[in-house]
Chain A
Amino acid sequence: MTAIRVVRRHTAVRVSPTGLESRTDLALRAESGEPGEWRLAADPPDREEADQAGRAHTVWRVLAEKARPVLREGGLLVEAGRTATEIECDGRTVLTRDRAYLLVRDGDHVLHLGDGTAPEDALPWVRAADPDEIRAEDPVLFGPSALLALTAAVHEARGGPAPDDPAAPPAESPYPPHDLSLPLLPPEVTGGRSRADLDQACELLGDPALWLVPHGTFGEFAAGDRPDADTGQLPVTAPPARALVVDSLVPRARTAGGVLDWTAAYRVRDSTGTGRGTGPLRLRGAPAELLAAAEARHGPRRPGLGRDPIGRARYRLAPTLGTSLNAGRTLAP
């Protein structure tokens, strides 16, 4: 039986919107001598990544300066990091992977997430947009993070993803610390281990905080937070010239009639450019009904952030959806 050893190092520096710094410095190891059994351990990190702090702060300062006219008192979250993965089979190194990455977020709206160290040049807005800019007839678009929030709410209501939805490996993520290459290995290398077996080890290796919790309780080892497959069947069209783009949604409460009340971060797009919403909006709608109004995809899938009240936040690729909804019908008074 093939013995597998996976070593994962993750170093990162995250600068919060208020400029506070948090560092991550982890070295984790998973070893398996036979299918169905893994031993995971945490080791002292063996290298310092001093340049990451400088890089994160530099990007944060540059973006803060660029965004100041729009964000005013607010700020962006910037994380610069590196993951290194080494996989050995029977003592032979079969894969090494080293990825530097950069994450930039405006709240739950992922502005940039990718390999490398340079953010995209342009910010997705050029001005601030007050709620009174929104017109009742503005079509409503759901950005990737908003789509993930709606999906999570639908899955919670029905107890999981659609039964015929193909499961995606949970270790696949656009966020490198949650993404492992192990599932890419050919079966002859992994000694006949099942995909689920490998995925579970990967999931644990991606986040040691999961090691100390009751398992099987909040969606780890599951792929239930992806948009359902039928979202991918929608036609790809150009976005309307003017629209209300909902970037993120957080459930606030449920009305007496059982309809969810959401807090939304948003943008208003028109011919003068895109304005970043000031302050939260309130939306009202059952998640399944809001999703059922989707009629098109606008542009390629982009990273979004899906939140869970008790599980960890997950980054997933998701499209921006165009809907048949308009702002007048969807915004709560």
Chain B
Amino acid sequence: MTAAEVVRVERALGAVLLADGGGGRAHRTDFHGGRLERAGADVRIFSGPPPAPWRLPLPDPEPLDDPGGAAAALAALRTRFGRGSRLHYTQTSSVRVVAGPGTDDPMPQRRRVWSLTGDLRTRGGRTVPVGRSGRGPGAARLPEPAWLDTIGRLLAAVDRAEPLETGAPPAVLSPQAAGVLLHEAAGHFAEGAADGTPVLSHRLRCRVAGELVCLDDDPLAEGGPAHYDRDDDGITALGRQRIVVDGVLVRQLHSAASAARAGAMPTANGRAASVLQRPLPRMSNLICRPGGTAVDELVENVGHGLFVHRLADGIRFGDTVEARLVLGELIRSGRRTGNYVTGRVRERADVLTRIVELGDRGEFTDNALCGKDRQMLFDVGTCAPAIRFSALRCTS
């Protein structure tokens, strides 16, 4: 290996189970391959072990969940939530190692992640997207009673929901829904440019949220879906770093490449979905510091408005942030009414500047899936409290 070369190698076991109208299907994958880069020159993608002289020791990944148990759990979910449901359970166990200049000594990084994705069908025939993911073995998480109860109530409420009128009501977002907007509007804004251009350092010191908001990124956060001590560039993570203080962006998240182009230090946020793809600047666990107000009090302070129970399919492009309003509930005279609504949140990227109050307890959202530049990660965590907005733009 020369000083200008970086080699990344991965061995990964994967399994995909699908439960739908066609019955159950299963794929098992055993990947071994890598990516060799020469600075400013060519890239080589290969299957199998790396060619000499780039041999790196690579231990076996942890074994996957028992496929029989996972298939039974998935089938039970489908039975419980309707024959029209379609569910994928995916699990991956991998070992990845990166070596090259600027990286510390090659050290295998283990990763074990899972996801449950698909659509559930309500009794009334409506479709509700489901997305859960996290770290570690997942099969035992599929039949968790608390999650089953939550989803059961969600489906029942969606069946009773009416289309939301277009408008910009004051709103309280549940921790899950608040996490979606924080992730899209502030988290992605804090990420450096994927290939270093355009350099986005002009974003530093921009106001991205109301002054109550402080955000950290922490790849070692307790309970967070992301958990690594070295990123996919081989950079050692130093722990929690503040990225938004009093609503102002004070630090950008960088991979090795984006940091080099920006003239900044890498922040151990270089993450790749597969070793075949280049690491991009990505969040690890985005953590919003809670405030001091109970959720009921946030609702009371709204007066007339909207309580957002659940958002899905959040996306940011350009200066807009959008998400599917899976379930909202009208608030009248400071009380939730049981009148449910569905629609779409269609907001500007400065939506977080309308944050006026924070709940007193943060919690990690159960969906840590995040796609960016054709790379999907299972483990991008967001920990948020319930949040009150002075206005939230919604459409039916």
Contacts and interface: CB of A to CB of B under 8 A. Distances in A.
Contact of B88 (A22, A45, A216): A216
Contacts of B320: 253-254
Contact of B319 (A40, A204, A253): A253
Interface in A22-81: 22-28, 36-45
Interface stretch (B19-27, B155-163, B213-221): B19-27
Contact of B318 (A204, A211, A254): A254
A25 B372 contact: no
B33 A208 contact: yes
Contact of B47 (A25, A253, A313): A25
Interface stretch (A87-95, A141-149, A241-249, A303-311): A303-311
Interface residues of A, number: 49
Contact of A214 (B86, B90, B277): B90
A212 B273 contact: yes
Contact of B32 (A24, A25, A36, A42): A42
Contacts of A36: 23-26
A88 to B, nearest CB: 19
A173 to B, nearest CB: 16
Contact of A21 (B26, B42, B86, B371): B42
Interface string B114-135: 0101100000000100010100
B46 A26 contact: yes
B44 A41 contact: no
Contacts of A258: 346, 395
B48 interface: yes
Interface string B13-44: 01010100011111111111100000011111
Contacts of B45: 22-26
Contacts of B118: 216
A319 to B, nearest CB: 26
B49 interface: yes
Nearest to A40: B29
Interface stretch (A103-111, A192-200, A272-280, A290-298): A192-200
A310 B372 contact: yes
A41 B371 contact: no
Contact of A251 (B33, B47, B317): B317
B128 to A, nearest CB: 12
Contacts of A252: 317-318
B378 interface: yes
A217 B117 contact: yes
Contacts of A37: 25-28
Nearest to B92: A212
A213 interface: yes
A298 B26 CA distance: 43
25 contacts: A22-B42, A22-B45, A23-B45, A25-B44, A25-B45, A26-B46, A27-B47, A36-B24, A36-B26, A37-B25, A37-B28, A38-B27, A40-B29, A41-B31, A42-B48, A197-B22, A197-B25, A200-B18, A204-B27, A209-B276, A212-B273, A215-B18, A218-B376, A254-B317, A311-B374
Q: Which 4 residue pairs of A and B lie closest in terms of their CB atoms, listed nearest first?
A: A310-B371, A253-B318, A44-B48, A214-B115
Interface of B: 12, 14, 16, 18, 22-33, 40-49, 86-88, 90, 92, 94, 115, 117-118, 127, 131, 133, 273-274, 276-277, 315, 317-320, 322, 346, 348, 369, 371-376, 378, 395
